[in-house]
Amino acid sequence: MMSYFIKRIDSIFYQQSFEAVNEFFSGFSSQTEMVEWMRKRKRQDPVISEVDGKDDIIAVIAGNNPAEMMGTDTKKDLFSEFRKIYSGTCIRIPDYSLCINESIKRALKYDPEWIAISSPNTHVYGKSRDLMRAVKLAHNEENRILIPNPSPLRSRYIRIGKRNFLSGKININRLEKWAYGIEEKLSGKFGDIYIAEPMDILHRAVYRWIFSAANTSSFIVLSADWLKSMGGHVMDETFTSAYCEVDFSIRHTGKAGSVNFINLPYRSRKRKASGLSLPFEHAWDLCNRIYMTHKINNSYY
């Protein structure tokens, strides 16, 4: 791609504007071209802040604005007794995967046993001692990834698949229909775009499922020794959003013996992380879904 085109795309990416979204996606002629831009896009080093605590488990919480996230946490936070490392780019363009990797590298300097990665979109409430107890009960050499059992209303797993003809019928909001329309246009140009959704009754009806992976939507706890063996580089930094966690789950949670679901009393609540209204968030997340589709189609998994 021409350098002036890349600069223009960089300047409009993630704007909350119908015109910006349409211009951005119409500027690419293929999946490969978009993936090339994602790999070369403008980046900024994350800002990292810490809150002191015990180093047995260190919580990594990445998002856009570390100070804002720190200000919303309370003593009821599941990680309140542990060291917490917040990171973000502090600009409108997110770089979630880069923030996680850099935060993990910082956390490893404290020599923890485990590192928890908490979703930027979710507040997690509970007792730190319950988390410590659950981790100790699950500990063995083969358990590299610990995932809390979700509530009875949610599934342990997500499915990765393609939309079917019913998908557009359930979007009743005008802006949601607009975001879906963007995807339909791109599907005509790029082919089917994969999506990751919970394994619930509604989503079973409107998607054609290809395979499944563990649901890591609230938080995951990873072995620090395992992370050290990878140099702390656990997330694919081409992804801009939390879809990097879906990619992580596809790559790692299917391996026998590597995952253990732990029983832990906790509750979660949505946290607004991107600053975008939901339709724009869905529209811009198409970049990440297209990259995931590229990896699936090219046998990266």
Comparing C-alpha atoms, which of 286, 242, 227, 225 is closest to residue 99?
242
Give domain status of residue 61, yes or no.
yes
Sign of CA dihedral 95, 101, 105, 107: positive
Give domain status of residue 87, yes or no.
yes
Comparing C-alpha atoms, which of 193, 217, 203 is closest to residue 295?
193
Give domain status of residue 132, yes or no.
yes
Pair 235, 112 in one domain: yes
Pair 88, 226 in one domain: yes
Burial degree of 194 (CB within 10 A; 0-12, 13-18, 19+): buried
* pLDDT tens sequence across 52-93: 999 999 999 987 666 666 656 667 889 999 999 999 886 667
Pair 54, 162 in one domain: no
Give domain status of residue 202, yes or no.
yes
Q: What is the pLDDT of residue 254?
A: 62
Pair 13, 150 in one domain: no
CB of 273 closer than 8 Å to CB of 63? yes
Give domain status of residue 283, yes or no.
no
What's this model's pTM, rounded to 2 decimal places?
0.88
Confidence of residue 35 (pLDDT cuts 50, 70, 90): very high
Pair 34, 55 in one domain: no
Q: What is the mean predicted confidence (pLDDT) over 157-162?
A: 84
d(CA 218, CA 187): 30
Pair 28, 134 in one domain: no
Give domain status of residue 281, yes or no.
no
Pair 102, 197 in one domain: no
Number of domains the chain is built from: 2
Give domain status of residue 134, yes or no.
yes
Domain that holds residue 24: 3-41+157-208
Pair 98, 247 in one domain: yes
